[in-house]
Amino acid sequence: MIGLVYGVGAVVRQVAQSWVVDPVPAVSKSVAPGTEYLSVSELGAHMARPGGLTSVSLVNYLQQRILKLDPQLNAVIELNPDALRTARELDQERASGKVRGPLHGIPILLKDTLETTGMQTSAGAFGLVGEAVGKNAPLVDNLIKQGVVILGKTNMTELAGFRGAPDGWSSRGGQTLNPHQADADVGGSSSGSAAALAAGLAPLAVGAETNGSIIVPAALNGVVGLKPSVGLLDRNGIIPASRRQDTPGPMARSVYDVALMLNAMSGRDPDDPHSVGAPEGVDYTRLLVPGALTGKRIGYPTTFSANGEILPVVNSASFTRTLEVLRDQGAVLVPVDMRLADASRYEELLLSDVKEEMNAYLAKRRGLPVKSLTELIKFNEDRDGTETDHQPMLKEIAASTLTPDQREPLWDELIEDFRSTVDDPIKAENLDAMATDFETNAYFGVAAAGYPGITVPSGSNEDGLPTSAYFFGTRWAEPTLLAVAHGYEQAAQAMVNPRL
């Protein structure tokens, strides 16, 4: 990419299902190689210098990088045709002395479940491709007010995995690949968001999670992903699965950038019962300071217990190093037993929620080829044929018979059980946070509880693939979790960029 100069008037057009940037003969400043891996603070510093980097040149650079690399990754499902116009307007604002904040002029990618004006919002499904929504999700508007440039939408596991497709695959976007190794697991369902960040296609991305959909792809692609407490962020305008479990979340290549995103994304929905008690006006970067780990009491499971059976934890070499880093930075490490909740009815309850909420969502969306799950299943059969069952979970969802009255008490009991598995050891040992090896899958119970968790790169394994540490805590614990994760990240310096 050395020495390339891109036209500021480039436009984006759609050819079949691919998005192409057409350069026009106008001149912008060249962008130095390696810019794609700079942090938000570094990009902002370059933009603040007279004659320095502009948002237009950065957007152009990333568009061209997407065109060059994404055909091998399938991380980006759609580019925003208004990105350059928005970047130009933000450059003009900056030149006039108006800077909206640290994200001013910074490009961002959005998961294909977030409603975005003038673009498709399809969850990767052809059955949801049609008339574009007429407004942004409130969270998207919050980001735009802070000066981000919507670069495009990311591919994902179709219907957030509820079609029953492989991780990272959608009929509309194809198979997203892990940029570290093409045949490695890419994770889902925010697959494209994580892969795009790892490949340097954008500095920031938004994911969304019901259970594992931010944490898993972030860990497997070697980036940072925060799954916030359910209800911390406004969830309107996002294709739903379960209001009891769903949350959008920030993804980036550093904990600090994730915190900056969380600042910009914040804004609770007053009509959301899950938002009651959610903190407002928090600066999530405030605790990200040197020495943040000193004296922090961090628990880590040495055993898991379920139904009276004790299961010893065998930590990986990477997590052993994580514990050493935490200890060296002054953290107090506390071994704990972590009880596992009874998850035997979790999937049944979740799929029943999906049936109700997806049907309600599809009924309200205008200009789509389907208006219900039954119609979507038929659409997929007509399009893909029936020789192979390409949508087993979607059919299972449609067959669910649990009523809301039946679900409600079961959910209440189950979520309370999951919450106690996190709350009890934290309270008993007076912990600031918990840390686990990502490989333990502890993120499942944390997500089921509606609690926050963050995954941070911890190096690579013997196969050269990313490893990750996972930190979690009780409800609304985001400030402390970010501080702990930042302290670990800064000491470990363990992120590894892929060799593309």
The set of catalytic residues is 111, 189, 213
Side-chain-side CA neighbours of residue 77 (13 Å)? 33
The strand pairing partners of 457, in sequence order, are 468
Q: Which of 39, 487, 447, 489 is nearest to 213 (CA)?
A: 447
Cβ proximity of 332 and 296 under 8 Å? yes
Fill in the DSSP letter of residue 204.
E
Neighbours of 171 (CB within 10 A): 20
> What per-residue string of b and e applies to 457-469 under the rule 16 or more CB within 10 Å gives b?
bbbbeeeebbbbb
Roughly what angle, to the nearest 10 degrees, separates helices 255-265 and 478-492?
160
Based on its alpha-carbon atoms, the radius of gyration of the chain, rounded to whole angstroms, reads 22
DSSP character at residue 165: P
**Residue 195: which residues within 8 A CB-CB, separation 6 or more?**
73, 75, 168, 176, 177, 178, 179, 186, 217, 221
Contact 371, 363 (CB under 8 A): yes
134 touches 232 (CB < 8 A): no
State how far the alpha carbon of 378 is from the alpha carbons of 174, 211, 358, 387, in Å: 20, 27, 15, 14
Q: Which residue has the tokens 């938004």?
A: 206
Total count of residues recorded for the chain: 500
Query: Within 10 Å of residue 245's Cβ, how many Cβ atoms?
Result: 23
Taking the CB of residue 327, how many other CB atoms lie within 10 A of it? 13
Structure tokens given for 408: 């409600």
CA 289 – CA 298 distance, rounded (Å): 17
Residue 41 region by backbone torsions, left for phi larger than 0, else alpha for psi between -120 and 50, else beta: alpha
- To which residue do tokens 């050269």 refer? 464
Report residue 105 as tokens: 């002029």
CB contact set of 100 (below 8 Å; sequence gap of 6+): 90, 93, 145, 146, 147
Assigned token pair, 406: 């039946």
What is the distance between the alpha carbons of residues 30 and 54, in angstroms, rounded to a whole number? 10
Q: How many angstroms separate the CA atoms of 174 and 171, rounded?
A: 6
Cα–Cα dist 86/62, whole Å:
15
Going by C-beta distance under 8 Å and a sequence separation of 6 or more, which residues neighbour residue 2?
A: 33
Which tokens go with 353? 């929620």
